[in-house]
């Protein structure tokens, strides 16, 4: 088996289930400029390929170096869970490139039922927490994206104006496959396309968006406490969210 084939990390699916990880088979990790195409990752001089067998070529040198550091940091085994940038780059190349329109449509579909639009009727503390974290983002979407979204109380679906969703779609259409992959991941992890776009456009810091996404959960924790399993799941999700935000920054 060629080194480039071995270099493909396992899928991130089934995170809750422990699986065997491959042994580290390489010594040296390098980044090689590919001109206008970007920078390629090399293991012992051999190009790395994605799970879909495409060359792992990153559009920016800084991103390529960050991905290379994930590979250098591996010990005797290769643990994909410690390589979120690599996983995201693989997704951008294999799952988004050539499918940009479908990914945009999925993000817009999330915006159609965006987390920030569904408000609690009480208690007062929860209502206040939602308003504190969510109202400024909705106001920003109205002014910056021309995307005023309607609010609803409870979980009953409220249809959003087509013009507002079109405003969000226009913003997404200017993104390349790597940026779209990052925004898509952040949207899925938070349930909010608006929070993802706010991070992408530097309206919010990643930590602020993550806190906003968990306004309900944090309010519940403040009253009832948190269990260890939920805390671990949230930490894993934050790792992927932070990696997506970092990817965006490395592309700037």
- Tell me the sheet residues that pair with 29: 43
Q: What is the DSSP letter of 251?
A: H
Q: Name residues whose C-beta falls within 8 Å of residue 38's C-beta, 6 or more positions apart in sequence.
A: 57, 58, 59, 60, 61, 64
The tens digit of pLDDT for each residue in 222-252 reads 999 988 999 999 999 999 999 999 999 999 8
The tens digit of pLDDT for each residue in 105-115 reads 999 999 999 99
pLDDT of residue 19: 65
Which has more pLDDT, 20 or 35? 35
pLDDT of residue 16: 46
Domains assigned to the chain: 3-80 (3.30.2180.10), 100-251 (1.10.3580.10)
Pair of tokens at residue 5 = 């084939």
- Band (pLDDT 50/70/90 cuts) for residue 1 is very low
Nearest-10 Cα torsion for 12, 16, 19, 21:
50
CA angle 58, 59, 60 (to 5 degrees): 95
The tens digit of pLDDT for each residue in 37-90 reads 999 999 999 999 999 999 999 999 999 999 999 999 999 999 999 999 999 999
pLDDT of residue 162: 98
Nearest-10 Cα torsion for 132, 134, 136, 140:
180
The tens digit of pLDDT for each residue in 185-218 reads 999 999 999 999 999 999 999 999 999 999 999 9
- Band (pLDDT 50/70/90 cuts) for residue 15 is very low
pLDDT of residue 18: 54
- Enumerate the H helices of 121-214 as residue ranges: 124-144, 162-172, 177-190, 193-200, 206-213
pLDDT of residue 6: 39
Q: Indicate whether 10 pLDDT > 80.
A: no
């Amino acid at each position: 088996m060629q080194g480039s084939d071995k270099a493909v990390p396992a899928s991130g699916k089934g995170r809750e289930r422990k699986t065997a990880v491959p042994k580290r088979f390489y010594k040296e990790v390098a980044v090689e400029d590919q001109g206008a195409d970007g920078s390629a990752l090399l293991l012992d001089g051999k190009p790395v390929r994605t799970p879909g067998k495409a060359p792992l070529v990153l559009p920016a040198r800084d991103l390529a170096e960050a991905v290379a550091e994930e590979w250098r940091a591996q010990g005797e085994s290769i643990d994909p869970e410690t390589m979120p940038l690599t996983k995201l780059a693989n997704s951008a190349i294999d799952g988004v490139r050539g499918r940009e329109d479908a990914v945009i449509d999925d993000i817009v579909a999330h915006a159609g039922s965006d987390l920030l639009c569904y408000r609690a009727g009480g208690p007062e503390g929860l209502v206040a927490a939602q308003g504190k974290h969510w109202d400024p983002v909705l106001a920003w979407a109205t002014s910056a994206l021309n995307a005023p979204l309607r609010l609803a109380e409870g979980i009953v679906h409220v249809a959003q104006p087509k013009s507002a969703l079109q405003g969000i779609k226009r913003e997404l259409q200017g993104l390349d496959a790597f940026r779209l992959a990052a925004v898509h991941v952040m949207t899925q992890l938070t349930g909010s396309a608006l929070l993802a776009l706010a991070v992408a456009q530097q309206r919010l810091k990643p930590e602020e968006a993550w806190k906003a996404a968990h306004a309900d959960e944090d309010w519940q924790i403040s009253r009832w406490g948190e269990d260890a399993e939920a805390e671990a799941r949230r930490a894993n999700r934050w790792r992927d969210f932070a990696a997506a935000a970092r990817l965006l920054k490395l592309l700037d």
